[in-house]
Amino acid sequence: MTIEKIEIFDTTLRDGEQSPGCSMDLKEKIRLAKQLEDLGVDILEAGFPIASEGDFQAVKAVSEEVSRPTVAALCRAVEPDVLKAIEALKKAKKSRIHTFIATSDIHLEYKLKKSREEVKEMTGNAIRLAKQNADEVEFSAEDATRSDMDFLCEVLNIAVAEGATVLNIPDTVGFCLPKEYAHVISTIKERVCGDRKDIIISVHCHNDLGLAVANTLAAIDAGARQVECTINGIGERAGNAALEEIVMALSIRQDKMPYKTDIETTKLFPTSQLLSSIISFGVQPNKAIVGRNAFAHEAGIHQHGVLSNPLCYEIMTPESVGVPKTEIVLGKHSGKHALVARYNELGIELNQEQLGRVYTAFTNLADKKKNVYDQDLVLLVQTAAAAA
């Protein structure tokens, strides 16, 4: 069986940076871009050149600094935007113009103030111009999941006719449920792509209902072959689909989703840490894959299981995503097995009598403070020995 590849389109430098508090200067963007190249992303969206001089310079600089991934620049479906993106991408080894326009009636009426006919005309004009000046053209139908399906397909067919080879179907406001989104993708695959193998359906999911990754995976099953995502899931409002979660879901669940990526998974955690250090905006402790507690165990029964065999409670190894090791957190829920293991690491061996006294003292201390540290453990042994 042939395992199909899923293209990873990283938009941390563009959509991710739009998240409040997540802005980056030029040096920081270049540093992160190089890390994303090492990570193995296929397409690196470096910015929105028309938005500011800083974004223009970032796209220009990233184009010059990275060589393996395709560098994409975002632009609205208007001539000045497209021309600015073309200029920014001149030095890219492989360039992609990513042009977009909204297709939902609410956006047409209240934001664009354009008719459907005008949107179709703007789509065709923008893609024609982009096609003449970039290696690849991607078209996004903003707010696609709240658009009329007939009109959406009509616009997408125009995009294909004018030369777009990647069709992005964003769940812009995180509105869809997985089955619903899968139906949208399968319908577009049938009505727009047909038997053509040169057209890729891409998905860009926001996390307003906490379903960005679930929707992305459902879309892959329905025929999408490019996913747009960010490190740590940063992005507008509740964020984007998290790259690390998508990649590891595909890696761990090959039995149900036989797809592959070019991501070097052992670099996921270091990339997450780099981003956090740059933006001074860490992930929540219980964040999947890269959170501080993702491989930490405090409950005694969990600690016993993990110490006996990590597979009892871990479906992937910490090392597989670049986390140094499983962390056994000593707290009020910890059991004797974890306590003995930590003492062994400290070079302290306890007999059963000593363990009984120390464990009682440990649980009393753990009730009073959130975490028990190594110096506390040493002191507990000394206190127990003095009391014996």
Q: Determine the 3-state secondary structure of 89 from DSSP.
A: coil
The 10s digit of each residue's pLDDT in 329-347 is 677 778 888 888 888 876 6
Give the separation between CA 88 and CA 341, rounded to whole angstroms. 56
Six-digit token string for 6: 């899923």
Judge if pTM exceeds 0.75. Answer: yes
CB atoms within 10 A of CB 343: 20
Mean of pLDDT over the chain: 91
Which domains, ranges and CATH numbers included, belong to the chain? 4-279 (3.20.20.70), 296-387 (no CATH)
Contact 64, 91 (CB under 8 A): yes
Residues 61-88 have a mean pLDDT of: 98
Average pLDDT over residues 307-328: 73
pLDDT value of residue 264: 98
Report how far residue 329's alpha carbon sits from residue 341's, in angstroms, rounded to the nearest whole number.
Answer: 11
pLDDT value at position 381? Answer: 80
pLDDT digits (tens, 9 = 90+) for 235-293: 999 999 999 999 999 999 999 999 999 999 999 988 998 998 888 778 888 899 988 77
Angle formed at CA 151 by CA 15 and CA 118, multiple of 5 degrees: 80
Phi, then psi, of 162 in degrees rounded to 5: -90, -5
Question: What mean pLDDT is predicted for residues 224-241?
Answer: 97
Question: Quick one: pLDDT at residue 306?
Answer: 47
